[in-house]
Structure formats: structure tokens, C-alpha cells
Amino acid sequence: MFDIINFGKVESTNKLAFKLIEEGRISRNSIIIADSQISGRGRHDRVWESPEGNLYMSLVMRLQDNFRATDYSFLAACAVGDTLKSFGIESLYKWPNDIMFRNKKLAGILIQTENINQINNMVIGIGLNLVSAPQYAISLSEYNIKRDDFVEKFIKSFSSYDLEYQQFGFRVIRNKWRQNCYKLNEQIILSNGVSGILRDIDDTGNLLIVDELGNIQKITVAEIL
């Protein structure tokens, strides 16, 4: 199980997590939660809007040898989705790291790894709009979900997925994830110019697209537009 450590306003829970690991001040089974972030970040250093009231958390773990950090992005999405479902909210998972609700972004996941003192550390940052969201995104303001209730359920779900993952590998996670895949079997356009039908993810989490000529294209890095 995880030790939960609460903070008020921080720069970024992911950044704080690595600082605390370096200083030897947290165990590798902790969750850092903040009320707000001054410089919350997404991938490629993009801004994550982080006003008070939403959920900003970072799970601190040791990344076991031969496990892939990217697998945890799918695993965490499944755990967020199942937790939302327990509150009656049906979400979809947008490759590679977003949670969508009513066709808009509700949550994002940022996984970072760093080797410190010969240990591979993984920090899984999750931002979820419980009460407010930027104009283009969406929140759960109408649902009145308490942050601590969400976190408690999330930890249970995450831990049980993690056990399954350790026993059976990525296959279980992949099957679960694709059941809620956003735009599955629909036409999509990617940031790298590729377009086609979103068919699946493969056994390492790459996106599989069928293009106009019927060829399968494997996409490792890009965004769905």
C-alpha cells in the first residue's frame, strides 16, 4: 500500500517527488498530493493548469527491471477509469495518456523516470479536474466527488492492476485499456501527419493505424488531433 503525503501549494508534485527521493525523505511507495500547483507540467514541458480544488498527485514507485514505464501510463489510465466508473462516470482513454469525458479532456498522466543511487525510480503524475477545468477541457463539478474518496478508490484499483501486471504482463492491461479506447475504429489524424482508422494498440503500447491504402502503421510517438 501507499503512504499518502499531503501538501498545500507546490511547484509540481512530480518535481517534488524526485526532490524528496533524492533527499531520501520518502519511501518508494508514496503518493504526494497537492492542493494546487504553481507550475504543473504535462509532457514536453507543456503547462498543466492546476488551480485549487482539483486532484494533483504523484505516485512514487521503484520501477522493477524488465517492466516498462510506458506500460504504467495505460495501467494508470485503467485505474482512473475504473475509479470514475465507481462514481457512475463513463470515461474513455485517449492514446497515449489522456482520460476523456464527453469528448473533452478530464485528466492527464505524466510518467517520469530517473535513476537515483542505482535505483530506477518512477513517478506517475496524475491531474484530474474534480471541480474546474480550462475552457477547452471538462471537470466533474456536477458530481461532488471528494478528493480523498477518489484517491482511496484509485489506490485500490491501481494496486490490483499492478499485481495483475506483475503476474501476467502487459496483455491484461492492454485488453482492459482497449475496451475504453477513445476513437477506436474511427478515422483519426495524428500530429505527425499520419491519418487513418485507429485499430488497436500493440503489445508494447504503440498505436496501430490502418491508412487509406490498407497498410498498418505503427505509431510510437505522436498526438491524436
Judged by the rule CB under 6 A, the positions of this chain that interact with ligand BT5 are 12-14, 37, 40-44, 46-49, 56-58, 97-98, 105, 108-110, 125-127, 129, 133-134, 137
DSSP letter at 95?
Answer: T
Q: How far is the CB of 158 from ligand BT5 (least distance, A)?
A: 15
Q: How far is the CB of 167 from ligand BT5 (least distance, A)?
A: 28
Q: Are 43 and 110 in contact (CB under 8 A)?
A: yes
- Look at the block and give the residue holding cell 500493440: 202
Q: Are 72 and 112 in contact (CB under 8 A)?
A: no
Please tell me the distance from the alpha carbon of residue 34 to that of residue 57, in angstroms, as a whole number: 6
Please tell me the distance from the alpha carbon of residue 40 to that of residue 37, in angstroms, as a whole number: 5
Taking CB atoms, the residue at the shortest distance from ligand BT5 is 108
Q: Are 218 and 207 in contact (CB under 8 A)?
A: yes
Which is closer to ligand BT5, CB of 7 or CB of 27? 7
| CA-closest candidate to residue 95, choices 200, 8, 211 | 200
Quick check: helix, strand or coil at residue 142?
helix
Quick check: helix, strand or coil at residue 205?
coil
Bridge-based pairing state of the strands 104-116 and 119-128: antiparallel
Q: How far is the CB of 94 from ligand BT5 (least distance, A)?
A: 9
Which is closer to ligand BT5, CB of 213 or CB of 225? 225
Which is closer to ligand BT5, CB of 29 or CB of 175? 29
Which is closer to ligand BT5, CB of 105 or CB of 183? 105
Q: How far is the CB of 107 from ligand BT5 (least distance, A)?
A: 7
Which is closer to ligand BT5, CB of 110 or CB of 155? 110
Q: How far is the CB of 180 from ligand BT5 (least distance, A)?
A: 17
Which is closer to ligand BT5, CB of 41 or CB of 153? 41
Instruction: Report the 10 Å Cβ neighbour count for 218.
Output: 11
Please tell me the distance from the alpha carbon of residue 155 to that of residue 65, in angstroms, as a whole number: 22
Please tell me the distance from the alpha carbon of residue 198 to that of residue 158, in angstroms, as a whole number: 26
Which is closer to ligand BT5, CB of 134 or CB of 169? 134
Q: How far is the CB of 32 from ligand BT5 (least distance, A)?
A: 9
Q: How far is the CB of 123 from ligand BT5 (least distance, A)?
A: 8
